[in-house]
Amino acid sequence: METDPDAGIVYLVGSGPGDPDLLTVKATRLLEEADVILHDKLPGPKIIDSLPEDRREDVGKRAGGERTPQSAINERLVELAREGKTVVRLKGGDSFVFGRGGEEAEYLAEHGIAFEVVPAVTSAIAAPAVAGIPVTHRDHASSVSFVTGHEDPTKEESSVDWEALAATGGTIVVLMGVGRLPDYTAALLEAGMAPETPVALIERGTWPGQRVATGTLETIVGVRDEEDISPPAVTVIGYVAATRETVAAFLENEYEDEREGAEGERE
Ligand code: SAH
């Protein structure tokens, strides 16, 4: 199929983990230039609040709370582009890391709409980083795997092979993995990973009110419950997670500082 010459263009833009200062220069420019910005909640409150009211559409949750189907978002992108608009599809983190950016790119290509992909800082790396956790380490982790925690590990058809991941000896970073934390930590223990393997949960990384909770493969579910950690959060499993303890005393962190203020207000 030929590119539709009268159509506009769609930019698939990652917003980074949430701090507006971590938007790329290109993302910032495109947000200024766009006729319309389609976004959900994941870019975080600071970035979303900075978007111009008259040029943005929230395609996250619909009224009533259910999620806008991906098919409706795909169709809206094509519809706007066919009106000749310059469209930014803004996604939390990087659009191509568990962001359905790939599906959107395929749909646009199928419909002859020109698009550009604007890569970004993924929360999978950035959320651990700001918590003082390097996802690789010369002494402790020579590989890192990015995994969805959304699937039920006890299901036969689960496409995540936790046993194989346990065998890598590298870092495992789980996205969308708050709810099923008990299932996949059990699967990793079952696969022979040491119960004392360090685990960290980074909630709302780089958002005001970021929180970090740490434990081990054996204790982390209790920690999650006690601290009431909720999405969005990234789970880091592996020896690198212990780096947090080593560096914490000297780790400047504006995000967690902001939370202390917020907490005071809540009391
Ligand atoms: N494309 C995104 C990931 C989308 S999947 C990216 O590259 O970051 C949604 C999951 O991303 C969440 O469930 C959570 O695990 C993670 N996530 C996104 N933003 C986050 C943030 N600021 N802090 C912690 N986790 C985040």
Distance CA 162, CA 18 (A): 29
Q: What is the mean pLDDT of residues 78-96?
A: 98
9-121: what fold?
Cobalt-precorrin-4 Transmethylase; domain 1 (3.40.1010)
Q: What is the pLDDT of residue 38?
A: 98
What pLDDT is attached to residue 84? 97
Average of per-residue pLDDT across 26-36: 98
Q: What is the pTM of this model?
A: 0.93
| pLDDT tens readout for residues 206-258 | 999 999 999 999 999 999 999 999 999 999 999 999 999 899 889 988 898 65
On average, the pLDDT of the chain sits at 93
Find out whether the beta carbon of 205 lies less than 6 Å from any atom of ligand 1.
Answer: yes
The whole-number pLDDT of residue 48 equals 97
Domain ranges of the chain: 9-121, 124-265
CB atoms within 10 A of CB 187: 20
Model confidence at 3: pLDDT above 90: no
Half-sphere exposure of 264 (CA within 13 A, CB side): 6
User: What pLDDT was estimated at residue 258?
Assistant: 53
CA distance 189 to 195: 6
- Residue whose C-alpha is closest to residue 28's, from 118, 122, 104: 118
Give residue 98 CA to ligand 1 midpoint distance, Å: 8
pLDDT value of residue 256: 82
Examine the pLDDT at 259 and tell me if it is beyond 60.
Answer: no
Three-state DSSP class for residue 37 = strand
> Measured in angstroms, how far is the CA atom of residue 43 from the centroid of ligand 1?
9
Classified by CATH at the fold level, domain 124-265 comes out as: 3.30.950
Indicate if ligand 1 lies below 6 Å from the C-beta of 98: yes
Q: What is the pLDDT, as a whole number, of residue 82?
A: 97
Q: Using CA atoms, how far apart are residues 178 and 188, in angstroms rounded to an integer?
A: 15
CA of 251 to the centre of ligand 1 (A): 22
The secondary structure of 53-88, three-state, reads HHHEEECCECCCCCECCHHHHHHHHHHHHHCCCEEE
Residue bearing the bigger pLDDT, 7 or 259: 7
Share of the chain above pLDDT 70, in %: 95
Rounded distance from Cα 92 to ligand 1 centre (Å): 7
**Quick one: which atom of ligand 1 is closest to the CA of 202?**
24
CA 197 – CA 219 distance, rounded (Å): 10
Burial class (CB in 10 A: 0-12, 13-18, 19+), 137: middle
Residue 166 half-sphere exposure toward CB, CA atoms < 13 A: 17
Q: Is the CB of residue 149 below 6 angstroms from any atom belonging to ligand 1? A: no
pLDDT band at residue 197 under the 50/70/90 scheme? very high
Residue-level pLDDT at 260: 44
pLDDT at residue 83, rounded to an integer: 97
What pLDDT shows up at residue 47? 98
107 CB within 6 A, ligand 1: no
Q: What is the pLDDT of residue 257?
A: 64
Query: What is the spatial distance between Cα 18 and Cα 176, in angstroms, rounded to a whole number?
Result: 16
Q: Tell me which residues are annotated as active site.
A: 40, 61, 176
Pinpoint the alpha helices (H) of 131-180.
162-168
